[in-house]
Amino acid sequence: MHIVASQNKIAAESYDYIIAGGGLAGCLLAERLSADGTKSVLMIEAGRSDYDNIKIRIPAGILRLFRSVYDWQHETSGEKGCNGRNVFLQRGKVLGGSSCTNVCLHMRGSAQDYNDWQVPGWSAADVLPYFKKSQDDQTGRSPEFHGTGGEWVMDEVKYQNPLSATFLKVGETYGLGTNDDFNNWSRPQTGVGRYQVSEKKGERCSGATAFLSKASKRKNLVVQAGAMVRNIDFDDSKTATGITYDLMGDDTCTKFKASLKEGGEVIVCSGAIASPQLLMCSGIGPAEHLEEHGITVVSDVPGVGENLQDHPAAVVSFKTPKKGVSVTSQLRLFGFTNPIPVLKWLLFKTGLLTSTGCDHGGFVCTAASDGQPDLQVRFLAAKALGPDGMTTFTQFRHTKILEDGYSFQSVAARAKSCGRIRLASSNIHTKPIIDGGYLSDPSDLATLREGIKLGRQLGQQDGWGEYKGEEVYPGPDVQTDEEIDEYIKNTLHTANALTGTCKMGCGDDAVVGPDLRVRGVNGVRVIDSSVIPRIPGGQTGTPTVMIAERAAAFLLNPELEPQPPAVVPVVDEVISAPPAEATTVSEEVTADEPQETVSEVIEAAVEEEAEPEPENEVVEEEEEIQTTEA
């Protein structure tokens, strides 16, 4: 990328779109909106520009990314449901955002998740074409639900640990059923299997590598890394005119301006923590809260920062007598990095470095389920270094000798608890106050309690053979429901799926409408995971890609904007997987036969929606990206 050090060029131009945030959604939008060469696009990202660093490219490099220069290192503030603990929240601080620092799982959730949003234009039938448009499925599964030829790659990890293979057999024998495609909407989500991942030929597929790099020669796209958007600027009519930003690490705090063309838009893509923070620092949010911080109210939108949702998790871990079998122990040789896995990855892009560690697992309906699977199990072929699941990721690089074992991370897949984001200061550089709201809904604690019990039962099955070992966490002293609950409260951690703080919808609690325009102002939209009204049952990276893809389509062709409720096809009962009855975790989960007309109904539901106009051919040799880094 061509680096330009001066801010004068940015100030001298005006733009059709200014994208505030270069994460997963921002990278896709930068590529799509600049593709035909007619629109000028500026993207401002506070994080680093080196998304191609080898620690990011190697999937297993995640063990060196948490609490590093690539991480914003947020924490919640004294969680009431977790005995006053602060919960660590990892967020990517680099172009590509958290798609550069997550566990690469490629999941959408179920069709019912999107129908349950009850937002016009965002039902399962509406969003499926946009999931498929971005996708490049390398697995060949259920083609009616997957696309090929896109940039967002879905594949399987080029490695399987023997402990992971054994887990699949144990889970099936136990009665959990099997699932070879967790993104197949013609069947229930339940069962155990290999999770698909966002990897391309053994390397992490991030928003930056998938989308932004594609635009690397476009003259109409300017990317400024290492800069923080301080606020959105408005005129007297509450219409956005541009942004004010400064450079990270600049002690002088010199402010710079970037301006919109007439009719241009600011697109906020800063994520579930930073997007509501930017809106509030710009005067959009709960009026009383803004006034407390001396911020002039532009639009009183009470929902800004509310509805924070996440996937809370807790761990069961076992030590195995079999030596040298876990992924963590194989990465060490006499206390140092084992060169063999490194060479396999460098030469062939295969081996254990292609795994982030939790690419096997399953979904289960526990007794706490309200119909859909409420529990996700993520299996790790490693003994946890501590009962807080984040400890293994953050302490691995400091631990020379690692014992062998296997672990079950229980995740409340459709958590009902909600928290919120509030300002600590009107200065955007001051981290906001985060109340995760973890376990504020008792059903989440019930789900995790059942998850702990299930992990214990699975870990003690005879099917483990020579690998069967003794429980380390929670340990023999934790037996009663009350003791399990205390263990969960004291060790709960995030599965890194933050959503919801700029809720999309039509009600009074919504921040953006179905067209993603911010209420009460002109020329501002939010397009990222923060608009998700209700968290889906699966990791949230791929749904974020879909949201950005759908938004890009109607930004370029307004005829594709979501329509009023009256014209939304009623297809919920046909394309949703039949709701599974709530079961105890020891009962076998079975699937009803899928309806034969699923794909036909989906095609009929979207048949009348116009396809996006074909993009003009771009001559790559004549284009150039201008990337500026502080």
Q: Where are the domains of the chain?
A: 2-579
Among candidates 268, 318, 625, 343, which has minimal Cα distance to 464? 318
Q: What is the pLDDT of residue 597?
A: 38
Do the strands 493-494 and 524-526 form a parallel or antiparallel pair, or are they unpaired? unpaired
Closest Cα partner for 156 from 197, 125, 209, 211? 197
Angstrom distance (rounded) from CA 416 to CA 136? 32
Q: What is the pLDDT of residue 390?
A: 76
Three-class HEC string of 546-606: HHHHHHHHHHHCHHHCCCCHHHCCCCHHHHCCCCCCCCCCCCCCCCCCCCCCHHHHHHHHH
CA distance 139 to 148: 10
Alpha-carbon distance 120 to 511, whole Å?
15
* Separation of CA 486 from chain center: 28
> What integer pLDDT is reported at residue 600 of this predicted model?
46
Number of Cα atoms under 13 Å in the Cβ half of residue 274? 31
**Strands (DSSP E) found in 357-403:** 360-364, 375-380
**Quick one: CA torsion of 283, 289, 294, 298, rounded to 10 degrees?**
20
Strands in 370-429 per DSSP E: 375-380, 405-412, 420-422
Q: Do 322 and 516 form a contact (C-beta atoms < 8 A)?
A: no
Contact in structure between 248 and 227 (CB atoms under 8 Å): yes
Q: What length does the chain have?
A: 630
Verdict on whether the full-model pTM lies above 0.75: yes
Cα separation of 21 and 271, whole Å? 8
In the prediction, which pLDDT does 142 show? 85
Consecutive 10-residue averages of pLDDT for the chain (630 residues): 63 96 98 97 97 97 93 97 97 98 97 98 98 97 94 97 98 98 97 98 98 94 96 98 96 94 98 98 98 98 98 98 92 78 95 96 96 97 90 68 93 98 98 98 98 98 98 97 98 97 97 98 98 97 98 97 59 39 36 39 42 39 42
pLDDT at 581: 38
Whole-number Å distance between alpha carbons of 531 and 98: 16
**pLDDT attached to residue 216:** 86
- DSSP code string of 270-291: -HHHHHHHHHHHTTEE-HHHHH
pLDDT at 602: 47
Cβ atoms 458, 471 nearer than 8 A: no
Helix (H) / strand (E) containing 45? strand 41-45
Query: In terms of Cα–Cα distance, which of 180, 242, 119 is closest to 504?
Result: 119
For residue 108, CA distances in Å to 200, 316, 368, 585 come to 18, 26, 22, 23
Burial group, residue 261, by CB count within 10 angstroms (0-12, 13-18, 19+): middle
- What whole-number distance in Å separates Cα of residue 111 and Cα of residue 93? 31
CA angle in degrees (0–180, nearest 5) for 165-167-168? 70
Q: How far apart are CA 516 and CA 269, in angstroms?
A: 11
Start-end of H helices in 76-223: 111-115, 124-134, 162-174, 207-210
Please tell us whether the domain made up of 2-579 is placed in CATH 3.50.50.60: yes
